[in-house]
Structure 1
């Protein structure tokens, strides 16, 4: 059982819009409206499966397009883990469900680290983390309305970190990396992804 998640902003912020989570964009609004059926948990699951399965994880797909704004991710149908989380959160908020962004610090061998982006959703007064990354690494991850279901389990002995904070907006290190490049594969291959929350 993990420790409770902390909120980095006021509750109303988890329904709001910003530069990356453009909740009021016509494409986000219309897509949310077309998917919004059932209760909040059913909607959160439907959106999760849509983002996981219909939006490719750029490196897995060999796609050089670099998206970060939710509406662009939806239009281009591709994105890094951060971008997919931005879209997931935007669609949930457009459907009236509070959601935010979470992160993990991961490594393959303990020498080089990368920040991984995921999301959290408020369901029945309980925040649950979900990981719509999809692609090869995340293809087996299912949605749960009651417990965290993540692609990666952190290994503290290797210096990995599970950041237990829910952010209303993308952290600056993520936006800086995504906005300063135009080639997704080069960004990943050249070590341009953030390695921690603050860089």
Structure 2
């Protein structure tokens, strides 16, 4: 589990702002599921999805997401992992491959998280941000992710990564605006 508790360049939970926010969110919680739910709801509801709100700057590191209050799904998953790890709750990154439109190509990755809860084991959560037609909830052991898989070209990758994928980091660090990221969304073959 150590890798899912580690501090890193992008899941920089040792940052003072992450430590402070994680402690604030954990206050008065009685177990790991209550802490995880608070962290999830904070990232889902208080951090704006960059594309939905057309918010710059493009963020990648967890501390940047917290500072600017915005991030693509990938960046929001980095923040959620950092908040959970700062509370000594193992957390990893998960990805789905989805249609970037309503159906068919092009395809892109969607970033979400897995959290290890003492009562349930690994449980996937999606703090992308709710909007009409997109609803994700924290209801262990039942998953309520933002997007269902609807075609054979889409998939849920079963891996739980301790660190972000290189293609995700590239998209978030090599594009200066949310519009540029949208034009270069990362993808991975099935």
Q: TM-score, normalised by structure 1?
A: 0.88
Secondary structure in structure 2 of the residue aligned to 1:156: coil
Question: Are positions 1:86 and 2:78 aligned together?
Answer: yes
How many aligned residue pairs are there? 185
Deviation at residue 141 of structure 1 after TM alignment: 1.7
Separation in 2, partners of 1:79, 1:138: 20
Question: Are positions 1:136 and 2:128 aligned together?
Answer: no
Question: What residue ranges of structure 2 are gaps of 5+ in the alignment?
Answer: none
Question: What residue ranges of structure 1 are gaps of 5+ in the alignment?
Answer: 1-10
Q: 1:197 to 1:52 in 2, by over 3 A?
A: farther
Q: Hey, what does 1:6 align to over in structure 2?
A: none
Question: Are positions 1:15 and 2:5 aligned together?
Answer: yes
Deviation at residue 138 of structure 1 after TM alignment: 7.1
Q: Hey, what does 1:176 align to over in structure 2?
A: 170
Q: Is 1:171–1:197's contact at 8 Å kept on the other side of the alignment?
A: no
Deviation at residue 46 of structure 1 after TM alignment: 0.5
Deviation at residue 195 of structure 1 after TM alignment: 1.4
Structure 1 stretches of 4+ with a deviation exceeding 6 A read none
Residue among 127, 133, 144 paired with 1:149: 144
Deviation at residue 185 of structure 1 after TM alignment: 2.0
Deviation at residue 135 of structure 1 after TM alignment: 4.1
Q: TM-score, normalised by structure 2?
A: 0.92
